Amino acid sequence: MPDEDPNPAQTPLHWLLAADLQDNLMVASNDLDRLQRLLCDASETLMGHFDAAANQIRPLARLAAQHPELPQDRLHEAMVQLSGAITALQFQDMASQLLEHTHSRLRHCADQLAQAAMDDDEDGVVQDAPTRPNPVTQDEMDAGSVELF
């Protein structure tokens, strides 16, 4: 945009639309950053609690093995459930990669828009677009369905 502060009535409509679209792209990008932080914090907390629960159950399982009158199958099932929960949390890495990829795409679009429509870019450089269309092809968390990229 020119150095002077243009009167909105004299500002070309495409500049106003481009500025609004760029703002919306940046808001979405910032929301993805917050979501990424929330996802990381939640999964770290859950992983810590699941690990602590597993560490509590293991000695109980050993103790139950010494006492045949105690139902060991319930402790075993609890460990199986905890293992499944921990496996599901490991998919957080793929979700984080997808969030980062989407964030990069949005930022690239916002930078291109600023440069093309307003001949301006806050950072002075248009961020490179991701080279791959999608870093993660996984869309489910079933056992055995992992597609490593």
What tens-digit pLDDT sequence spans the chain (149 residues)?
A: 445 555 555 568 778 888 888 889 999 999 999 999 999 998 889 989 988 998 988 888 888 888 888 778 888 888 888 888 888 887 888 888 889 898 888 888 888 888 877 665 455 566 676 766 666 665 555 544 444 43
Cα distances (angstroms) measured from residue 33 to each of 28, 29, 105: 9, 6, 13
> Which parts of 70-134 fold into alpha helices (H)?
72-89, 92-118
Report pLDDT for 4. 54
Which pair of tokens denotes residue 111? 């930078």
Contact 39, 139 (CB under 8 A): no
Cα distances (angstroms) measured from residue 87 to each of 54, 55, 72, 82, 146: 13, 16, 23, 9, 11
Contact 77, 56 (CB under 8 A): no
Backbone angles phi, psi at 140, to 5 degrees: -150, 165
* This prediction's pTM: 0.62
Contact 43, 88 (CB under 8 A): no
DSSP 45: H
Q: Whose structure tokens read 């992992």?
A: 146
Cα distances (angstroms) measured from residue 129 to each of 33, 73, 100, 114, 138: 17, 52, 12, 15, 21
